Amino acid sequence: MFGTDSQYPAPDVARADFQIRYDDLTQHGHIKQVTLPMVLAKVCMEKLWAHHPLVVTRKQGIVPILSRLVIESEPIAVSFGAPLEGRGRIELAKEHARDGAVSALFMNSYADVWAIPSRRNKGVDPNAREHVRIGRAFGEHVLTRPFGPAEERKVLSFNVPGQPALPDATHARVRVDANVALPEAASALDAAFTPDDAAWSFGLIHTDLNQHVNSLVYARMFEEAAVRRAARHGHNNALFARKLSLCYRKPSFAGETMHCMLRAYELNGDFGVTGYLAPENTPPERANCSFQLQFSAYRT
């Protein structure tokens, strides 16, 4: 899914610096996972998609809607005074149905986040000011007409003069229910999915101008729910979120109350949680969204 910066063809790469806030870092100086998707907005959306020839499809009512988000972070303390550097690319792709027909089009974004390491890192030369990679993010965006008639919302080809009707690359999305499967070699700590300690009630504070709950709200609330579940299993000891996979199926809205179903596991001695958010008594395949979050214990 992810590639190194050297693997990106030069014309498809963009870079951007961005500042972090005090609360974007943990007490150890590590970047919080909910901060990392900023690189997708700053680099992939603002620098690349905004200037891509197919961005004119917005005039046809076509927009990229986030359908999956994958975030990975490294336990490297960051120098707060220096800006982060984002490096990324985008790729247009098509998905095929079982019969071979095109079933969806995607604008996928890939980006790395680089930073000056803090002197608090062990083994770091206090005089070295080279950037190191502290995280990366992948955003899967389905191209759709969200405000068009139901029969016209699915986009199966482009109609832009001078541009191909279909991209060359292919992509297969991860469905919301597949995203909750335990990782290979993981040992379940919960025999089945059980509800979070609290129901999730959404208010205006959770929404944005798209008129529904903001996609990053789920990332933060899923991590909070996972920490609560970790406490139940005696694992709540300075957990550091290493990798989060989020799949979105349908939005949630202010005024709704949802149930978060969780299942904890261990993998190579580290704690993880998988789960989904849905109305009460809803199976995973009909969930609004699902997640899988892998932690590692902070080790000095």
Architecture of domain 178-297: Roll (3.10)
3 state DSSP class of 107: strand
* CA dist., res. 149 & res. 163, Å (int): 25
Give the dihedral sign, CA 223/229/233/234.
positive
Contact indicator for 62, 56 with CB cutoff of 8 Å: no
* CA dist., res. 97 & res. 267, Å (int): 33
Give the dihedral sign, CA 63/68/72/78.
positive
Residues 139-174 pLDDT 10s = 999 999 998 888 889 999 999 999 999 999 999 999
So what's the pLDDT on residue 4? Answer: 45
Nearest to 104 by CA among 69, 68, 50: 68
So what's the pLDDT on residue 28? Answer: 87
* CA dist., res. 90 & res. 111, Å (int): 9
Number of residues that make up the chain: 300
Looking at the DSSP assignment, which residues form a beta bridge with residue 88? Answer: 14, 111
Q: What angle do CA 185, 189, 193 make, to 5 degrees?
A: 105
Q: What is the number of other CB atoms lying within 10 angstroms of the CB of residue 276?
A: 29
So what's the pLDDT on residue 236? Answer: 74
Q: Where in the chain is the domain with CATH 3.10.129.10?
A: 5-170, 178-297
User: Any idea what DSSP says for residue 264?
Assistant: E
| CATH code for the structural domain at 5-170 | 3.10.129.10
CA torsion 138-8-21-67 (nearest 10°) is: -20
So what's the pLDDT on residue 147? Answer: 87
Close Cβ partners of 300 (under 8 Å, ≥ 6 residues apart): none
Residues 195-236 pLDDT 10s = 999 889 999 999 999 899 999 999 999 999 999 999 999 887
Contact indicator for 29, 136 with CB cutoff of 8 Å: no
Nearest to 112 by CA among 1, 210, 22, 187: 1
Residues 243-264 pLDDT 10s = 999 999 999 999 999 999 999 9
pTM of the model: 0.91
Report strand pairing: 14-18 vs 84-96: antiparallel
